[in-house]
């Protein structure tokens, strides 16, 4: 699954990475991409944190799919995150499958892929690896850290774990903990993977067949949660797929069925099934307030100097506005300077990845203000 292009750093070679579970990893490989140049004062770095099925190719061609970067609209010369001004970093998260250590990689002790012997990880573990990568790149502090969905969760963990390294932070369509409904959807996906006879208890790496069917179903289920009913209705309705009448069978009669099947089949070409299990588990374990006796505001007290922006979307039912407001209220209670907006959008959870002029306008103003207060040229 490792990408054929891009950069890889090998970290924690001398001192092991201690995970929240108590397990240790050494060494840890990290796949990453950078855009722009770090200035002489090392004050213009921006870290972008990707979502569950995302990767480090935020603004460059994906080495497997050949598609443009997933936020190429935002990142690049003259764009909202102007790489003529900022040094933008994005890394593949711990446990994933595009260059960063995860269950697909060889366990140096056994000489075989880790599989389910890989230790269970958390969002905070991912952030610890990102911090080590920034050390490797010579970045002591960040002008901004930005993330949507699971990327937003990483941003929150940056605010609670390394607040001294942050000047500003943006959280898009995220949450400070996973609800029972979130966990339930992830469990359906995991069970789909593990029910696939080609999963082989997670040891499929040396087999001819992979658990593609189970992973495709997991992706189909998750993809529904990323959209809104409005978006599905407007895009597909009950339109038939290349036929004039239903077939009275179980082929993809409806366009929405064909669309989901395509999403599932395309996903298995670029993602590892075990990585899907590990990353969804990390998201399920997220509950930042629990580490502070249930008081989320206490988690942000050390970040009172960090400028923050929280954005939600009206049709997002996966991480609805209420979850994002809870974050903003907790930040405000902790004395963190935070701005909040709910953007009216029909696109559901995926809106943060799409062309949303109101979001762009808010991000543009926030980044410009953060850069000015950081002493960077406008």
User: C-alpha distances in angstroms, 362 versus 47, 71, 133, 256, 311?
Assistant: 18, 16, 29, 33, 9
Q: Which of 60, 149, 275, 315 is catalytic?
A: 149
Q: Which of 82, 275, 349, 350 is catalytic?
A: 349
Q: What CA–CA distance (Å, rounded) separates 267 from 262?
A: 8
Q: Which of 55, 125, 253, 316 is catalytic?
A: 316
Question: Left, alpha or beta for 161 (phi > 0: left; psi -120 to 50: alpha)?
Answer: alpha
What is the Cα Rg of the chain in Å? 20
149 is known as an active-site residue? yes
Q: What CA–CA distance (Å, rounded) separates 225 from 332?
A: 29
Query: Which of helix, strand or coil describes residue 75?
Result: strand
Tokens of 224: 């529904």
349 is known as an active-site residue? yes
Sorted by sequence, the CB contacts under 8 Å of residue 333 that are 6+ apart come out as 297
Angle between helices 150-161 and 273-285 (to 10 degrees): 50
316 is known as an active-site residue? yes
- Please check whether residue 189 is in contact with residue 222, taking contact to mean a CB–CB distance below 8 angstroms: yes
Q: What DSSP line would sit under 365-376, residue for residue? A: HHHHHHHHHTT-
Residues belonging to the active site: 149, 316, 349
């Amino acid at each position: 699954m490792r990408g054929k292009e891009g950069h890889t750093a090998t970290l924690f070679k001398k001192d092991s990475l201690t995970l929240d579970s108590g397990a240790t990893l050494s060494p840890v490989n990290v796949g990453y991409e950078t855009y722009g140049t770090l200035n002489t004062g090392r004050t213009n770095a921006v870290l972008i944190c990707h979502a569950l099925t995302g990767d480090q190719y935020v603004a460059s061609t994906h080495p497997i799919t050949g598609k443009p970067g997933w936020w190429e609209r935002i990142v690049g010369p003259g764009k909202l995150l102007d790489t003529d001004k900022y040094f933008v970093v994005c890394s593949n998260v711990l446990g994933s499958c595009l260059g960063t250590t995860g269950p697909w990689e060889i366990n140096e002790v056994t000489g075989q892929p880790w599989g389910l012997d890989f230790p269970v990880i958390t969002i905070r573990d991912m952030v610890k690896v990102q911090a080590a990568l920034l050390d490797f790149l010579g970045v002591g502090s960040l002008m901004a850290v930005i993330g949507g969905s699971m990327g937003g969760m990483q941003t929150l963990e940056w605010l609670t774990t390394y607040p001294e390294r942050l000047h500003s932070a943006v959280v898009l369509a995220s949450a400070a903990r996973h609800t029972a409904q979130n966990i339930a959807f992830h469990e359906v996906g995991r069970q789909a993977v593990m029910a696939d006879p080609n999963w082989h208890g997670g040891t499929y790496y040396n087999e001819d067949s992979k658990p593609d069917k189970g992973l495709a179903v997991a992706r189909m289920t998750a993809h529904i949660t990323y959209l809104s009913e409005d978006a599905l209705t407007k895009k597909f309705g009950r339109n038939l797929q290349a036929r004039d009448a239903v077939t009275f069978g179980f082929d993809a009669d409806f366009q929405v069925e064909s669309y989901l099947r395509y999403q599932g089949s395309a996903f298995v070409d670029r993602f590892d099934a075990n990585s899907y299990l590990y990353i969804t588990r990390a998201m399920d374990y997220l509950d930042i307030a629990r580490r502070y006796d249930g008081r989320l505001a206490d988690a942000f007290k050390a970040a009172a100097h960090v400028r923050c922006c929280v954005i939600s979307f009206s049709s997002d039912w996966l991480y609805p506005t209420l979850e994002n407001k809870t974050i903003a209220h907790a930040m405000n209670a902790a004395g963190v300077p935070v701005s909040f907006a709910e953007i009216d959008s029909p696109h559901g959870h995926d809106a943060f990845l799409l062309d949303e002029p109101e979001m762009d306008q808010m991000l543009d103003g926030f980044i410009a203000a953060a850069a000015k207060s950081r002493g960077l040229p406008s």
